[in-house]
Amino acid sequence: MEKILFVNCCIRKEASRTKKLVDFFLNELNKTGNYEITELSLMDEGMTYMSEGFFHQRDELLVKKDFSHPRFRYAHAFAKADKIVVAAPFWDLSFPALLKVYIENLCVEGITFGCNEQGCFGVCKAVHLVYVTTRGGFYDQTPMEMGSKYMEAMCEFFGIQRYDCIAAEGLDMGIRPVEVILEEAMEKAKEMAADF
Ligand SMILES: Cc1cc2nc3c(=O)[nH]c(=O)nc-3n(C[C@H](O)[C@H](O)[C@H](O)COP(=O)(O)O)c2cc1C
């Protein structure tokens, strides 16, 4: 059984269209019987962004190379997952700040990446990360889309070789029914599940 980490940043929880799409994808993965999926719901974690004391604590632990502190649990879980699924809506041209706070918690030298004279290199075990998102407008292939692009760059930084995005677009435009757009994205999700 491969271990999948599912990072849920669907802020609107069960009302979220992104959640519906990712649930479909995870269900397709479950059908294969090949995966053990562990969900991390960021909305329920009470994570803190880096400021003052929280930042200095991190620095002090890193100097001592003390990676056993509970604050590093997110980085450890991310680093040891076989595959990763992240779901978040498109907000303000990227994703909710909550996901950025999670990423801040992931970036720990000695757990998810290392550095040498040549620069930094990822040390995460995962071979594939799939990012699931939905957007109100149409931004795919435009320079203004910085959610998927950022996640792709983070994958490279963490040493995760393969990145894919499953996106549904134009959900708030009123041009096509939301259900139809989601069904099309689910078709893509089905193909991706077979190739995960
Ligand atoms: C705070 C906020 C910011 C948003 N920013 C954008 C945006 O920059 N571009 C866009 O196309 N849609 C934007 N939207 C619309 C969402 O991307 C769209 O409704 C999406 O499907 C929401 O996902 P959800 O149903 O999973 O919550 C925004 C929505 C919210 C609530």
Does residue 27 have a pLDDT over 90? yes
Distance in Å, CA 130 to ligand 1 centroid: 19
- Taking Cα atoms as reference points, which of 156, 19, 143 lies closest to residue 86? 19
Answer yes or no: are the C-beta atoms of 165 and 148 closer than 8 Å.
Answer: yes
Backbone torsions φ then ψ of 84, nearest 5 degrees = -135, 140
Average the pLDDT over 112-131 and give the result: 97
Q: What does each C-alpha distance from 48 to 51, 94, 172, 176, 195 come to in angstroms?
A: 8, 20, 31, 39, 35
Closest C-alpha residue for ligand 1 atom 30: 91
For the stretch 39-55, pLDDT in tens is 999 999 999 889 888 99
Give 189's pLDDT tier (boundaries 50, 70, 90): very high
Could you report the per-residue pLDDT of 146-186, keeping only the tens digit for each?
A: 999 999 999 999 999 999 999 999 999 999 999 999 999 99
Q: Which atom of ligand 1 is nearest to the CA of 17?
A: 25
What pLDDT does 36 receive? 97
| Residue ID of nearest Cα to ligand 1 atom 15 | 136
Q: Name the pairing type of β-strands 119-122 and 113-116.
A: antiparallel
Q: Would you say 9 and 99 are in contact if contact means Cβ atoms under 8 Å apart?
A: yes
CA distances for 152 relative to 119, 129, 196, angstroms: 19, 9, 16
> Mutation test of ligand 1: which of 11, 172, 176 has the most ligand atoms closer than 8 Å to its C-beta?
172
What structural domains and CATH numbers belong to the chain?
A: 2-194 (3.40.50.360)
Q: Which of 34, 118, 115, 110 is nearest to 72 (CA)?
A: 110
Give the list of residues 6+ apart from residue 126 with CB closer than 8 angstroms, or none.
5, 78, 81, 82, 83, 84, 158, 160
Ligand 1 centre distance from Cα of residue 69 (Å): 35
Tell me, what's the pLDDT at 150? Answer: 98
Which pLDDT belongs to residue 52? Answer: 85
Residue 7 has a CB neighbour count (10 Å cut-off) of 25
